[in-house]
């Protein structure tokens, strides 16, 4: 917006310079002699219409093609130069009236003329222009025409109003907006005021910007404008730039923020977002419940270090060995969170367990997520305890037992199985049914049983349990039992036959 304000000030300064230059040149025209009539504007008004005017007057008001009637053009011209200019044309005012312009350079005289009003406008000073003034005047008029063209082509609304709040000049965009928003005839003067709230600025502040909504025609939505105010002497130059897209974007952002806020409020995971300066800018209610931090403390926008330090005071993070290691852990946490690699499990003194994750956000922000996994950890520990108990029970069984999943992976074995097939404890759950049967084949005499078992384990048909006896290479007889289980799993149970076992025992004795 600064570039636009500079452009407007430059445009206004150039316009005033041109106007002042023309006034300076014209002030040198003498009021006496035959040239006086050519620089004096004379209008004759009857029944609210200009019925006659001299050549200079007709030429002046004829330049304005935005207004259709001469009386409206005359009103605009007088409003731009004289305060309370309507009195010059008001038929209710009796007697003659003399009025000076705002800059004191022009004089207007109103005279009653038998039911009509005669208005004469002339310059007051009597200096004589130099011989080069005519060329300067033409250059100034050319520049003035350029400025008029530029302001007419400007896509934003631009108008000037006097200290009484009356609009004395507008550009083409203002005229089009008045027609579009108010559905009025813009060929007359004065034009309707689009922004009434800017008429009475007490006192106006230079450079002030106001966002104003203008009701749209019929059922159309409001039209939003950013109105900039600049002081030009005692007048006010106003600029209104359409802001519909900006307002729409802000509304979408506000709705999105509200949606996120509602979503965050319902999350069971505590959320704390720190900006690039590592100040807390956003948190949700779950964070209060998980950390027991005071609302006043969080709304004061603490730093990341202060936030973690308060967690330490509340015993909501693991206690460090010493303060130096504590400070080092803070630095490491911040760096890891900014890289999106921080993920730790905090076991707290009260038995709770939090999973804390750090995630980077745009513009250097960092988010910390606190998840209470105490129930999951308790369930995991309970499941692990049950699994250990189950393993103890199955290890106590004398028969060798192995369970294969539907995919053929070994999921359960016992100590007797590992002893029978000479498998180490560190590899008893490693391998699949193919590796297992290969091991069985190495320690047993050749038999088709192992191939049949592989087919049985991989079969999708209705299966029934079956048994077989095979011989081991050491001479023992091995009784094998193969059982189908729900879900496609398969169990194999091996037992050394009793007679062979007793014989082996006698030989050992």
Write out pLDDT tens, residues 340-357. Answer: 778 888 888 888 888 988
174-183, 382-391, 484-493: range with highest mean pLDDT = 484-493
Distances in Å between the alpha carbon of 189 and those of 125, 177, 193, 355? 30, 15, 11, 73
For domain 267-376, give its CATH number from 3.40.50.300, 1.10.4080.10, 3.30.450.20, 3.10.520.10.
3.30.450.20
List of residues 6+ apart from 83 with CB closer than 8 A: 102, 162, 163, 164
Q: Which residues of the chain form CATH 3.30.450.20? A: 154-194+201-246, 267-376, 397-508
Which of 272 and 6 is assigned the larger pLDDT? 272
For the segment 155-196, what is each residue's pLDDT rounded down to a tens digit? 888 888 887 788 888 888 888 888 888 877 767 777 778 888
- Average pLDDT rounded to a whole number, residues 122-135: 59
Q: Output the pTM of the full model.
A: 0.43
Q: Residue 490 pLDDT more than 90?
A: yes
Say what the pLDDT of residue 186 is: 66
Q: Residue 66 pLDDT more than 80?
A: no
Cβ atoms 54, 37 nearer than 8 A: yes
> CATH for 397-508?
3.30.450.20
Write down the mean pLDDT value for the chain: 80
Assigned token pair, 363:
């513009």
Assigned token pair, 333:
């946490």
Reported confidence tier of residue 449, pLDDT bands at 50, 70, 90: very high
Q: Residue 33 pLDDT more than 50?
A: no
Which of 52 and 4 is assigned the larger pLDDT? 52
Reported confidence tier of residue 31, pLDDT bands at 50, 70, 90: very low
Per CATH, is 154-194+201-246 categorized as 3.20.20.70? no
Q: What is the largest CA-CA distance in the chain?
A: 157
Rounded Cα distance, 393 and 391, in Å: 5
Reported confidence tier of residue 80, pLDDT bands at 50, 70, 90: confident
Say what the pLDDT of residue 506 is: 52
Q: Residue 456 pLDDT more than 90?
A: yes
Distances in Å between the alpha carbon of 269 and those of 264, 278, 349? 9, 21, 20
Neighbours of 120 (CB within 10 A): 16
Reported confidence tier of residue 25, pLDDT bands at 50, 70, 90: very low
DSSP category for residue 447:
-
Q: Residue 34 pLDDT more than 50?
A: no
Cβ atoms 460, 448 nearer than 8 A: no
Q: Residue 383 pLDDT more than 70?
A: yes
Three-point CA angle 116, 118, 121, nearest 5°: 160
Which of 105 and 125 is assigned the larger pLDDT? 105
Which of 340 and 35 is assigned the larger pLDDT? 340
Q: Residue 117 pLDDT more than 60?
A: yes
Say what the pLDDT of residue 22 is: 52
Say what the pLDDT of residue 37 is: 37
Cβ atoms 76, 88 nearer than 8 A: no
Reported confidence tier of residue 495, pLDDT bands at 50, 70, 90: very high
Say what the pLDDT of residue 327 is: 67
Rounded Cα distance, 389 and 395, in Å: 10
Cβ atoms 182, 258 nearer than 8 A: no
Assigned token pair, 459:
């079969």
Topology given in CATH for the domain delimited by 29-123: Beta-Lactamase (3.30.450)
Which of 333 and 473 is assigned the larger pLDDT? 473
Q: Of 241, 288, 281, 249, which is closest to residue 265 (Cα–Cα)?
A: 288
E-assigned strand segments in 233-317: 235-242, 270-274, 280-283
Rounded Cα distance, 334 and 360, in Å: 10
């Amino acid at each position: 917006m600064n570039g636009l304000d500079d452009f407007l000030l430059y445009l206004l300064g150039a316009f005033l310079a041109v106007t002042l230059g023309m006034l300076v040149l014209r002030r040198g025209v003498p009021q006496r002699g035959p040239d006086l009539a050519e620089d004096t504007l004379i209008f004759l008004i009857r029944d609210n219409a200009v019925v006659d005017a001299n050549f200079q007057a007709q030429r002046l008001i004829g330049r304005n093609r935005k207004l259709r009637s001469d009386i409206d053009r005359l009103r605009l011209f007088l409003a731009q130069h004289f305060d309370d200019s309507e009195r010059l044309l008001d038929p209710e005012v009796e007697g003659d009236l003399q009025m000076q312009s705002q800059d004191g350079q022009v004089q207007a005289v109103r005279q009653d003329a038998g039911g009509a009003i005669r208005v004469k406008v002339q310059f007051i000073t009597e200096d004589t222009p130099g011989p080069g003034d005519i060329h300067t005047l033409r250059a100034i008029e050319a520049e003035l025409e350029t400025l008029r063209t530029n302001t007419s082509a400007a896509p934003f609304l631009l108008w000037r109003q006097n200290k009484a709040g009356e609009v004395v000049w507008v550009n083409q965009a203002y005229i089009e907006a008045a027609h579009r928003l108010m559905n009025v005839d813009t060929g007359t003067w004065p034009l309707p005021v689009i922004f009434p709230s800017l008429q009475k600025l007490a006192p106006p502040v230079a450079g002030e910007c106001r966002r104003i909504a203008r009701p749209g025609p019929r059922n159309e939505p409001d039209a939003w404008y950013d109105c900039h105010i600049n002081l030009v002497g005692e007048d006010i130059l106003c600029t209104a730039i359409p802001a519909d897209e900006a307002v729409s974007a802000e509304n979408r952002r506000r709705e999105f923020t509200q949606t996120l806020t509602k979503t965050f409020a319902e999350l069971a995971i505590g959320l704390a977002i720190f900006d690039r300066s590592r100040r807390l800018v956003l948190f949700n209610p779950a964070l209060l419940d998980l950390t027991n931090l005071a609302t006043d403390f969080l709304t004061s926008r603490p730093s990341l270090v202060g936030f973690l330090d308060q967690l330490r005071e509340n015993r909501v993070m693991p206690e460090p060995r010493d303060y130096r290691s504590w400070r080092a852990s803070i630095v490491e946490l911040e760096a890891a969170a900014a890289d999106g690699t921080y993920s730790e499990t905090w076991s707290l003194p009260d038995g709770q367990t939090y999973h804390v994750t750090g995630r980077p956000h745009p513009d250097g922000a960092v988010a910390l997520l606190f998840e209470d996994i105490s129930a999951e950890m308790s369930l995991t520990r309970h499941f692990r305890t049950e699994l250990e108990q189950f393993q103890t029970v199955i290890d106590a069984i004398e028969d060798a037992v192995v369970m294969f999943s539907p995919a053929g992976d070994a999921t359960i074995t016992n100590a007797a199985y590992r002893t029978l097939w000479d498998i180490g404890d560190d590899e008893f759950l490693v391998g699949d049914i193919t590796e297992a049967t290969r091991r069985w084949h190495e320690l047993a005499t050749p038999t088709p049983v192992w191939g049949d078992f592989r087919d049985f384990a991989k079969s999708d048909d209705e299966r029934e349990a079956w048994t077989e006896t095979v011989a081991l290479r050491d001479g023992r007889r091995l009784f094998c039992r193969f059982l189908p289980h729900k879900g496609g799993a398969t169990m194999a149970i091996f037992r050394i036959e009793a007679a062979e076992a007793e014989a082996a025992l006698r030989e050992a004795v």
